[in-house]
Amino acid sequence: MTDLPDPPAPPTAPRDLPFDIDLRRINLSVGYVALGLPLSLAVISVLTNTCFNASISHYYYSRIGGDILVGALSFIGLLLMFFYSFRAPGREGCLGWHWYDVMLLKLAGAASVVVAFVPTTGSGCTYTGEVARVFLTDAAGSQGFHPPGGTVTGTISYDFWASFAPIGTDVPLLLQLAHFGAAGVMFMILGYFSAYVFTRPNSTASLVAGNRKDRRNAWYRVLGKLIFAVVAVLGIKALLLQGILPDGTAQNLAALWDSLRLTFVFEATGLIAFGLSWMIKGRFLPVFEDAAARAQPRAA
């Protein structure tokens, strides 16, 4: 009898991977990065004795803060887009999710990446000697290249999208709209998740005696409403400055608003609320953990 070839090896099951995939740790990672982003940017300004930017987005033009901003938003965006699959609804930790919740989460992730890579315009600061990461138009010369030595000269610009001017004069405006629109979409979806998705029963432990679901839900609802309030305030401010108020009044309001760094304050508030919501989802403190999910003592 002819020997048959060995059957192909079965595909590697998730349990055979050399690491654990823990949904709570993923939630905590998203939460910690979101919470840490505005705090780290503020610390950068203090430690480097540089300008405190008018908004979180303007830290794109900070030589250190720009790397933190793009890295943090990319990390959050990629996790939201690719970690949560359409098979998540009905599984432990996502029992109350629907397919469109996953779709919205992926949209929020894509919006986060757009915010990172479609920067805002303007310096965001009145600089007094410190060095910023800027772009040059009409650049000429060389430094440390061939021929060696010399300097690079040009006109300093904070409009990254000026490079697209040959395509059309409206491109920078369209990309500004993309930046602010993506930021609004991201915050609105994250507020929806905090107020309406995380409040559903999403784990078996939240359905049995000793659960602390009501405690978590109270926080989720407050944090979700806070995110919605941030979007509303920033949206109203934009409307007032762009067409409702007379030019002189709008300029005075904009000057006062920027001097108080209110855009940064509100954006930081929204990010901190988002971060805390996901940290609670990851049970970063024992007070949010259900009794059924806690490790039980061994019998004597």
Q: What is the pLDDT of residues 242-294, one digit of tens each?
A: 878 888 898 999 899 999 999 999 999 999 999 999 999 999 999 999 988 87
More confident residue, 52 or 9: 52
For the chain, give the percent of residues with pLDDT over 90: 54
Indicate the pLDDT class of residue 124, thresholds 50, 70 and 90: confident
pLDDT in tens, 72-90: 999 999 999 999 889 999 9
Give 248 or 218, the one with higher predicted confidence: 218
Question: Domain map of the chain by residue range?
Answer: 22-136+168-286
Query: Residue 5 pLDDT > 80, yes or no?
Result: no
Mean pLDDT of 187-205: 96
Confidence check: pLDDT of 170 > 70: no
Centroid of chain to Cα 244:
30
